A and B are shown apart, each in its own frame.
Chain A
Amino acid sequence: MPLLSLKDVRIGFGSGPGRHEVLRDIHLEIQEGEFVAIVGYSGSGKSTLLNLLAGLLQPDAGSLQLRGLPAPGPGPDRGVVFQNYSLLPWLTVTENIALAVDQVFPEWQPGQRAAHVRRYIEMVRLTPAAQKRPSELSGGMRQRVSLARALACEPAILLMDEPFGALDALTRANLQDEVVRIWLENRRTALLITNDVDEALLMADRILPLSAGPGATLGPSVSVPLSRPRDRRSLHHEASYKHARRTVLDYLLGPGSHAKLAVSRKLVLPDLLPEDLDGPRPSLFAPPKRRAHSATETVELH
């Protein structure tokens, strides 16, 4: 039984002619202990998908299941590393993490909780900044705090939304290794959302490409049969790496991804009537004649 699954999910924003269809026909199964990566274009709906999995958004159709049962609302069993860190700016690094830890492990002794918080701050190498507020940290440091907060809750599944997006290449490499190491240590389930195919290949067991929106959908799953620990220097030469990479890119760049690309936009005609020169002149103070007129045009892109 999969740990987390989405069945036939569709979601969009707005209603009527302004409706924006973001995801459709989403089937997704994440097994216990797996490391899955979702790779897709910017704006295709990756964060929307993650919010669905976390329970922060409700699908318009289809269902979300946790261990085969309809998933309850959001909770700390599904830890989230948000794309924009989502740290509370009035709390220090320690306090941000402690807020989560105190909430998830209320039965522990205060000392035990504090030690737990310190351990995770140590893990992301932020001990010197433990008493700083998020505004005093760099983007990468904030991302690490966000990661530590999610990990400290010891969730059944860790959902990460482009967690290395704001990092320089060196820190990114470090932190990628760190996340994989933590994942290997306790074999929790992890889902990584990224726009970097190489990052996905380095970290994940399985890659799911997400086509470009609107109406994005997941492509066929591509497994990454590479042994761990993976060494990013020698990885590029392995045949299975090249094969997996080509499969993902072919899907993302190929016609399958763009076939349904269409934009619909609302056309609003100018709010004027042509002046009628023959008729009697309208009073200066009469309200202007209005013509509510709009049309929707759908443009298919090829």
Chain B
Amino acid sequence: MKPLQRLQRFFLESLFLPAVGLLLCLLLWQVLSGKTVKTTVRDDFGDLVTVTKRVGLSKDLPSPAETWAASKTYVLQPWAKRGELDQGILAFTWLSLKLVAQGYAIALILGTPIGFCLGLSKSFAKTFDPIIQILRPVSPLAWLPLGMVLFLSVKIHVPGAGAPYTASELAAIFTIAVCSMWPTVLNTAVGVRAIPQDYLNVAKVLKLSRTKTLLKVLVPATLPYMFTGFRLSLGIAWLVIVAAEMLTGRPGVGGFLWQQYNALNYAHIILCILTIGFVGYALDRLMSLVESRFKSV
């Protein structure tokens, strides 16, 4: 292909078409959203009063311009901290990410060995498969109250980490870990089962010890599957954090969203949704970069 053609194609496929899609969505949003109209009417006493009214298809939905105007300070001063539940959007994101990282780490640390056991041992798989199948579809909204109950009287103080973990924090971490663990568990198990007999034969002929077989053959052979699991788990962890923050009212993107809904600040809901979407997308891209590195080997 000629360079000029390639450039044209790049413009068309990577810039122009996505821009068209974006514009169409904004247009739809604009059409759906309401607008504020001020009318001057003469009231029953004969005085002239200004009445502010919202009209439109969904009259309380703020339009794109209104959303931007209301969100400007949060976006333009992303790290500002004006109060516990009034911070810049990146500050909130950072708080959420910190919690996600802890729950996600626990999910990986527990999920990977469980997946290996499921893949390696038939009797282990037979024993725990029903439980896993039952626990897997449970919604984060259902796990969170259980987490609250579990950690109600637990105080975990990590030296050097400042304030001790609160029950709601621990419940959120617990929920993230429990919900995001399953893709890692199942993908690892599938990966272990898919290891070609050839590789195991090599380990047998060389008489590798159990640990050596695990580290030199099983883990590297499963790695691509494991990373697919890790990526899916991260997606779920990020989904769960919003629900967990909403229920516990913790500061973070989800907590902010819920608080702003209660405060009737609808523009900020949209800001939060967009932030959640962008961060989720960025996390997924990041993980698939890592994943493709391992897949290519």
Binding site for B on A (CB under 8 A): 51, 54-56, 73-76, 78-80, 82, 84, 86, 88-90, 99-100, 103-104, 133, 153
A contact face: mostly helix, strand, loop, or mixed: loop
Q: Determine if A54 and B205 form an interchain contact, defined as CB atoms under 8 angstroms apart.
A: yes
List of 6 A-B pairs having minimum Cβ-Cβ separation, nearest first: A86-B198, A74-B204, A90-B220, A103-B206, A75-B207, A90-B297
Q: How far is it, in angstroms, between the C-alpha of A100 and the C-alpha of B216 when the chains are bound? A: 11
Q: Are B199 and A103 within 8 A (Cβ)?
A: no
Contact: B297 with A89, CB < 8 Å? yes
CB neighbours (8 Å) of A76 from chain B are: 205-207
Q: Does B201 contact A (CB under 8 A)?
A: yes
Would you give the shortest CB distance from B232 to chain A, in whole angstroms?
22
Q: Tell me whether B202 is interfacial, beta carbon within 8 Å.
A: yes
CB atoms of B205 and A80 under 8 A apart: yes
Choose among B199, B205, B216, B220 the residue that contacts A79 (Cβ–Cβ < 8 A).
B205
Cβ-based interface call for B208 (8 A): yes
Q: Is the CB of B206 within 8 A of A86?
A: no
The answer to whether A56 and B205 have CB atoms under 8 Å apart is yes
Q: Which of B189-222 contact A (CB under 8 A)?
A: 198-199, 201-202, 204-208, 212, 216-217, 220-221
Contacts of A79 in B (CB 8 A): 205
| Cβ contacts under 8 Å, B220 to chain A | 88, 90
Q: Which of B199, B207, B212 is the one whose CB lies under 8 Å from A88?
A: B199
Contact of B205 among A75, A84, A88, A90 (CB under 8 A): A75
Q: Check A73–B208 contact: CB distance below 8 A.
A: no
Sampled A-B contacts (16; CB under 8 Å): A51-B201, A55-B204, A56-B204, A73-B204, A74-B201, A76-B205, A78-B205, A82-B202, A86-B198, A86-B201, A88-B216, A88-B220, A90-B223, A103-B206, A133-B297, A153-B206
B interface residues, Cβ below 8 angstroms from A: 198-199, 201-202, 204-208, 212, 216-217, 220-221, 223, 297
The interface residues of chain A lying within 8 Å CB-to-CB of B198 are 82, 84, 86
Question: Which residues on the A side are within 8 Å of B221 (C-beta)?
Answer: 88, 90
Report Cα–Cα, A266/B216, bound state, in Å: 42
Neighbour of A86 across the interface among B202, B208, B223, CB < 8 A: B202
Q: Which of A82, A84, A103 contacts B208 (CB 8 A)?
A: A103
Across the interface, which residues of B come within 8 angstroms of A56, CB to CB? 201, 204-205
A80 to B204, CA, bound (A): 11
* A99 vs B199: C-alpha distance when bound (angstroms): 13
Closest to B204 in A: A74
Q: How far is the CA of A166 from the CA of B41 in the complex (A)?
A: 92
Docked CA distance A270–B223 (Å):
44
Bound-complex Cα distance A80 to B198 (A) = 11
Asked if A74 and B205 sit within 8 Å, CB to CB, the answer is yes
Q: Which of A51, A73, A84, A100 contacts B206 (CB 8 A)?
A: A100
Give chain B nearest CB distance to A58 CB in angstroms. Answer: 12
Residues of A within 8 A of B206 (CB): 76, 99-100, 103-104, 153
Roughly how many angstroms separate A292 CA and B220 CA in the complex, as a whole number? 45
A100 to B202, CA, bound (A): 9
- Please indicate the chain B residues that have their CB under 8 angstroms from the CB of A74 in the complex: 201, 204-205, 207
Which residues from chain B contact A104 at a C-beta distance below 8 Å?
206
CA distance A68 to B199 in the complex (A): 30
Q: In the complex, what residues of A have CB within 8 A of residue B212's CB?
A: 103
Assembled-state Cα–Cα distance A78/B204 (Å): 11
Which residue of chain B has its CB nearest to the CB of A78?
B205
Among residues of B, the one whose C-beta sits closest to the C-beta of A84 is B198
Q: Give A165 Cβ to nearest chain B Cβ, in Å.
A: 15
| Complex Cα–Cα for A76 and B202 (A) | 10
- Do residues A103 and B207 form an inter-chain contact, with CB atoms below 8 A? yes
Question: What are the residues of chain B within 8 A of A103 when measuring CB–CB?
Answer: 206-208, 212
Cα A64 to Cα B198 in complex, Å, equals: 22
Taking each of B205, B207, B223, which has the highest tally of chain A beta carbons within 10 Å of its own beta carbon? B205
A88 touching B202, Cβ below 8 Å: yes
Nearest CB of A to B74, in Å? 46
Chain B contacts for A78, CB-based, 8 A: 205
Alpha-carbon distance between A104 and B212 when the two chains are bound, in angstroms: 13
- Tell which of B198, B202, B204 has the most Cβ of chain A within 10 Å: B202
Q: In the complex the two chains form, what is the Cα distance from A51 to B198 in whole Å?
A: 11
Within 8 Å CB of B199, what residues of A?
86, 88
Residues from chain B with a CB closer than 8 A to the CB of A133 are 297
CB distance from B203 to the nearest CB of A (A): 9
Give complex CA distance A55, B204 in Å.
Answer: 9
How many angstroms between the C-alpha atoms of A4 and B199 in the bound complex? Answer: 25
Residue of A with least CB distance to B217: A88
Q: A74-B207, A82-B198, A88-B202 are in contact. List 17 more A-B contacts (CB 8 A).
A: A51-B201, A55-B204, A74-B204, A75-B205, A76-B205, A76-B207, A80-B205, A82-B201, A86-B198, A86-B202, A88-B199, A88-B216, A88-B221, A99-B206, A103-B207, A103-B208, A103-B212
